[in-house]
Amino acid sequence: MRGGEDGCARRRLCPWRRVSSRRRNGPWRCICRATALCTLPLLAGCAGLEGLESDGPARDVKAPLALWPEYTPAPLGREDNPAALRPVAGVPHVPSGSMADADPLAVLDADISAEGQHPPAPRAVRRPALHDLTDDGKPDLITVIDLDPRTSELRVYSVRKTVVTRVLVLRGALAGVELAAGHLAVREPTKDPRYVSVTDLVWDGRAMALWDLTLDEVRRHQTRQAGGGSASRRSRAGRGSRGPGGSNGSAGSGGSGP
């Protein structure tokens, strides 16, 4: 019994001997060889890990704690939706379907008067731009009204079945308005002076819908200075040579920012 017990003990300590003896020429031996070959590169790679240092235990990850989860905002009303379509009353119909055939100031006056506000002064209205935003092959009207030195209002108008229609109105501190591939990108400053938020709007067939909302670096050449012109343009003019009368040239309106 002692010999039998010793044999059982050896088999318990080295169970692979019994298996390998039975399958010495079988697939098990091939598997063992393949495992050994695959292990060698891993062991060789471990030799170069001596310089690694531990940064300590990882921080515990906890789910965000929602405050007042039972409260949710009401959906936007028509008057609160900046992209709600609104026909402009009091302006002639446009049979051509192009906003190029409409009077920009007359459109603004009629639209703002319908809201119970005073029409803007002509000097507060920037030069209007015409660009096809609604994918109908005809230009739409893009206007900006400077309400004060910081706040501006962007308004976009289109012709829908010969009726002049407002398709977008946004109020804020406009750091820039850009057009790219049919998209309207509105840049607004953030609390970090290095970055602006970019609201990318695109026509979805029914309204100007939000396409993307990102952060971008501030473009210094779009920063307006008191008295007009951009910061970079005014700085270049200041470095230029002055004439006999001390004039260094006029600084034109720079960029699309306010």
* Alpha carbon distance 209, 168 (integer Å): 10
Residue 25: the pLDDT is: 52
pTM of the model: 0.62
Report residue 203: phi and psi, to 5°: -75, 125
Dihedral sign, CA of 154, 131, 91, 162? negative
3-state secondary structure of 46: helix
Note the helical H segments in the chain. 2-13, 15-22, 27-45, 104-114, 231-239
pLDDT profile of the chain (258 residues), mean per 10: 52 50 50 51 52 75 89 84 94 97 96 94 96 95 96 97 97 94 93 95 94 90 44 36 36 38
Structure tokens of 238?
A: 């200041």
Residue 78: the pLDDT is: 73
